[in-house]
Structure 1
Amino acid sequence: MSAGKTTGAAQDVALAIRGLTLSLPRNMERAHAVSDVSFDLRRGQILCIIGESGSGKSVSANAVMGLLPRSIRVAAGEILLEGQNIVGLPPDRLREIRGRVVSMIFQDPLSALNPLMTVGQQVDEVLAVHGVGTPQTRRERTLELLTEVGLPSPELTYQQYPFRLSGGQRQRVMIAMALALEPSILIADEPTTALDVTTQAQILKLIRDIQRRKNMSVMFITHDFGVVSEIADSVVVMEKGQIVEQGSADKVLKTPSHPYTQRLIAAVPHLTGQNRPALDVAASEPVLKVEGLLKTYRSGSAFMGTLREVAAVNEVSFDLAAGQTLGIVGESGSGKSSLSRLLLKLMDSDGGRIVFEGTDIARMPEPEFRRLRPRIQMVFQDPSASLNPRSTIGRILTVGPVAHGTPYAEARDEARALLKRVGLDGGAFDRYPHEFSGGQRQRIGIARALMFRPKLLVADEAVSALDVSIQAQILKLLDDIQRETGVSMVFITHDLRVASQICDEIVVMHKGKIVERGQPSQIFLDPTSAYTRELVAAIPGERPDGGGRIALAG
């Protein structure tokens, strides 16, 4: 399809998609990534595109950026950027447009940033590639951008490598790179998915403030209607490559007409204001009792005067009864994941006790603890990274029990039964991890943890990166399994809405310490700690309606 100017384009439309169809390779589950998609992004507005994984959101954004993989091609339609059809433009013309006219914030800043270049070099490179300024003026512009996006100590951040920054700081670097050439259109692909609620609120406010100040047009891709209610002017809802509903944010969020939109909104977790019904478990000693647990990270040298100490877990104490779920919530860096690693003895504590079923395991030697390890299992945050890509699901599930003396035939039958229990068919046993979706891989991770019939299950951000509908399914699955087996759970999350749905009691951590503890109704409706109040106030879609916010239907 040849490029060219399109006459009659509306003056207030910055980006227009007309009948866009993107073909997938043969033998895929469907023929097209998106089919006959049309929508407008108006000047100075924020358009949210929402849908589950595989709905076609990100591939549509990549088509606008000219970043489609070779296996996906434009089969039909137009992409009108400032009135010009960019479909079929040569690569050099697309490079001129990319960054100057339209720019993109990617979902995972850690993989999008070059680990071998400093932050300053990466922002400078955006300017240099487009021939902007001298090295001195580019440095000044980079420092100005780092300041604009709210990064602390811009001079120091300029010299840092991405791994030294937090997730929220890396996302701010990505925003600085996207804004470097002051484009008229900004595409943000799930920029807040894996961030804690306070960092997410900061990034949303930053994008909204920059959009208003520069009168930019923003295409914001997300799967969370709570985020949509915070920032959207208009909404496009996609399912399996097609648009099922679109309109103003007020109309779509308050009076959704399509059943799929209604299901997505219904799946958004909310603060319930109620406590979880207790399991009928006979009273007994706590399954887990933590007393004064300590862990300090040290870096640098005392001799050179560069010693730095961070108390990741500082005098943490709690207990967990049989069949109960204890939620651990807090921002990134609060010590949640460090606590989970200590509980599983994946690293040693500096002090305190971890009493599991009456035995202190904190100082127990590894050979002695090995017999107890099957009784404490973990569901990891990223199932893609925690499942061996070279092993079949059957091997992944059976290798542990077989290593601990279970006959293979017995382990195989147990694995097949568990796969069925977590909602996967029998054929999953002989397939590989890459053949499953993110939600299915997380179900496999749960099945693997249950192979040992554990007494304690530690779930570390087990649903943080999943679509809200898949998230709801996984939470229900965990709840059902707990009620069937009586397993106790430590549920670590930065999403307070999720914690309110599945936890019997919640512990709030801040800088390694517990600042508040109580039942969900007390924590979320009547928090005593100022820090907890800040966390609750930052939850998207949960603050009192007003100030430009849109309430969700129901």
Structure 2
Amino acid sequence: MAASIQASAVEKAALSVRGLTVDLPEGMERAHAVENISFDLKRGQILCIIGESGSGKSVTANTIMGLLPKLISVSSGAIHLDGAAIIGASPQVLRGLRGRVVSMIFQDPLSALNPLMTVGEQITEVLTAHGVGTKASRRSRALELLTEVGLPDPELMYHQYPFRLSGGQRQRVMIAMALALEPTVLIADEPTTALDVTTQAQILKLIRDIQRRKGMSVMFITHDFGVVAEIADSVVVMEKGRVVEQGSAEQVLKSPTHPYTQRLIAAVPHLTGKDRAPQEKAGKETILKVEGLAKTYRSGSTLFGSQRVVPAVKDVSFELAAGRTLGIVGESGSGKSSLGRLLIKLQDSDAGRIHFDGRDIAKLPESEFRPLRPQIQMIFQDPFASLNPRSTIGQILTVGPVAHGMPYHQAREEARALLAHVGLDAGAFGRYPHEFSGGQRQRIGIARALMFKPRLLIADEAVSALDVSIQAQILKLLDQIQRETGVSMIFITHDLRVASQICDEIAVMQRGRIVEHGPPSQIFLDPQSAYTRELVAAIPGERPRSARAAAAND
């Protein structure tokens, strides 16, 4: 009787996973990537799979797609996709299912798209691989898809290469490719993690609208409960390869039963609407004063009339007091990161002044600025890319101070002390960056920046790609460091929830300009600019569910 009920559930579901176990190679920190997991994706619904990095979410998705690397293997379990068995199917069968029955939107569209092929070629390639249509009809279908996912000027987009598009536009191209053959099941693996709030809201609305219009079933992988609150019908929570909780979105969000789910929900940043308590070490002196800063990027050729001019930073002015944090928020392309690079003089400004500790550093030549460089340090967005993979953590932390005259034995002791301070054990000193998780690498990046005892820290999207629980730890660490050392911070982020947690003041940037500047209470509770109101309204999970449902039905 139980077997017949289970068989019936498999038939009714668009995707059914039963007792799936995927083994990891020997010597890894655990034996299984996923262990004995079971869940169903009902037809016409959105199932969110949530968990931290290493919980097995992406391995599950790749197993369903038949894209597991050779080192990882399925040891037991069954997967039925629209009634067809996946485990043990031949490569030919799996190729026939991909794109036609199940498609996937990958987390990083830039690495998933072919840089040598135009957008149009990559969409038509999906159709060609399955022998669909003629050359003319495939081109017509590609243009139709580009229109459907909301890309401007589809004819122009058809001939563009991926590097010419923004992050949100590349993600829309990935969605167009995934929808080309109108699959039954769409798997979206963290498709909005690195996007700003307005682009994220657009992508979520696009996926939800297409799912409803075409009656697709969607498996949405995420670590953000704000996203879950926006779109999920049901939720599966994974921890270290196991399913620890599952149920309806309403049930899991409002009445979580497992301690891990409760911890994840508690770690989600929310808009506080309150101004930050003053720091004891905050002073009234101005450590940084920026006046009329400007930067314009030029590419192409004036000779052939193809020069492209992009004003990235336009007439930006602000002040930062000692021991305080200024948040710089805005969409991708608003000029936030360009501003950060100008402040640390990784790029030269075209106009304006940067007064640091009373001295204009904007026009200083590198030889004169070099002695001041240790006092201004940066925490980069991608800690893995900013750490030398061939150097140990000890070398990475000590090489800068030693180059600036600190004796090696002193640098070594300070590095060990800082590693302990940011929550890493003593053994980290002799290990390499690839041996650490994303959150641990970000802690190393913070330790490296603090080795010089800087007076100003510039954090460029320092927590944007981290799980919510690790994000909360890093924010707590930065707050603790600031209270202990009195360091001033420029905190660049596209996540307004994070900005509300750590910033004393917030500057909102749009197209290179600061359009609003004030304390969090003003920016989030009484925004004066229409653009700021739009940003606040787009924050996932901050509106009541009933309001989101009403907006979705408009």
TM-score normalized by the length of structure 2: 0.97
Question: What is the aligned-residue RMSD (CA, Å)?
Answer: 1.2
For the structure 1 residues 284 and 9, does the alpha-carbon distance in structure 2 shift closer, same or farther, using more than 3 Å as the test?
A: closer
Is residue 531 of structure 2 the alignment partner of residue 531 of structure 1?
yes
Q: Deviations over 1:466-490 (max 9, x none)?
A: 0000000000000000000000000
Partner residue, 1:115: 115
8 Å contact kept, 1:171–1:191: yes
3-state SS, counterpart of residue 26 of structure 2 = coil
- The 5 Å alignment of 1:154-553 reads 154-281=154-281, 283-549=283-549
8 Å contact kept, 1:460–1:491: yes
Partner residue, 2:134: 134
Q: Which amino acid aligns with 1:189?
A: D
Shift, 1:386, TM fit: 0.4
Partner residue, 1:3: none
CA distance in 1, matches of 2:548, 2:323: 42
8 Å contact kept, 2:325–2:491: yes
Q: Deviations over 1:73-102 (max 9, x none)?
A: 001000011222210111111000011000
Shift, 1:308, TM fit: 2.7
CA distance in 2, matches of 1:174, 1:236: 24
CA distance in 2, matches of 1:303, 1:332: 30
CA distance in 1, matches of 2:245, 2:71: 28
8 Å contact kept, 1:288–1:320: yes
Q: Deviations over 1:82-138 (max 9, x none)?
A: 222210111111000011000000000000001111101111111111111111111
8 Å contact kept, 1:9–1:83: no
3-state SS, counterpart of residue 67 of structure 1 = coil
3-state SS, counterpart of residue 371 of structure 2 = coil
Q: Which amino acid aligns with 2:65?
A: M
Shift, 1:493, TM fit: 0.1
Q: Deviations over 1:391-422 (max 9, x none)?
A: 10000000000111111100000000000000
8 Å contact kept, 2:283–2:323: no
Q: Which amino acid aligns with 2:397?
A: L
CA distance in 2, matches of 1:425, 1:403: 25
Q: Which structure 1 residue ranges, 4+ long, deviate > 6 Å from structure 2? A: none
CA distance in 1, matches of 2:388, 2:398: 13
Shift, 1:42, TM fit: 0.3
Q: Deviations over 1:493-549 (max 9, x none)?
A: 000000000000000000000000000011000000000000000000112442355
Shift, 1:381, TM fit: 0.1
CA distance in 2, matches of 1:324, 1:547: 36
- The 5 Å alignment of 1:89-104 reads 89-104=89-104
CA distance in 2, matches of 1:253, 1:63: 27
Shift, 1:157, TM fit: 0.5
8 Å contact kept, 2:229–2:545: no
CA distance in 2, matches of 1:262, 1:125: 44
CA distance in 1, matches of 2:377, 2:137: 54
Shift, 1:191, TM fit: 0.2
Q: Deviations over 1:162-186 (max 9, x none)?
A: 0000000000000000001110000
CA distance in 1, matches of 2:487, 2:497: 22
Shift, 1:307, TM fit: 3.0
Shift, 1:284, TM fit: 4.2
CA distance in 2, matches of 1:218, 1:157: 26
Q: Which amino acid aligns with 2:76?
A: A
What residue ranges of structure 2 are gaps of 5+ in the alignment? 1-5
Structure (1 or 2) with the greater helix fraction:
2
8 Å contact kept, 2:281–2:485: no
Shift, 1:8, TM fit: 3.7
8 Å contact kept, 1:269–1:501: yes
CA distance in 1, matches of 2:545, 2:148: 29
CA distance in 1, matches of 2:300, 2:419: 47
8 Å contact kept, 2:25–2:71: yes
CA distance in 2, matches of 1:489, 1:300: 36
CA distance in 2, matches of 1:59, 1:200: 24
Q: How many corresponding residue pairs?
A: 545
Shift, 1:199, TM fit: 0.1
CA distance in 1, matches of 2:138, 2:423: 54
Shift, 1:7, TM fit: 5.2
Shift, 1:370, TM fit: 0.4
8 Å contact kept, 1:7–1:83: no
3-state SS, counterpart of residue 322 of structure 2 = coil
3-state SS, counterpart of residue 371 of structure 1 = helix
CA distance in 1, matches of 2:544, 2:516: 23
CA distance in 1, matches of 2:181, 2:275: 50
CA distance in 2, matches of 1:547, 1:527: 20
Q: Which amino acid aligns with 1:482?
A: Q
3-state SS, counterpart of residue 287 of structure 1 = strand
For the structure 1 residues 51 and 433, does the alpha-carbon distance in structure 2 shift closer, same or farther, using more than 3 Å as the test?
A: same
Q: Deviations over 1:363-400 (max 9, x none)?
A: 00000100000100000000010001111000000000
8 Å contact kept, 1:105–1:187: yes
3-state SS, counterpart of residue 440 of structure 2 = helix
Shift, 1:326, TM fit: 0.3
Q: Which amino acid aligns with 2:266?
A: A
Q: Which amino acid aligns with 1:534?
A: E
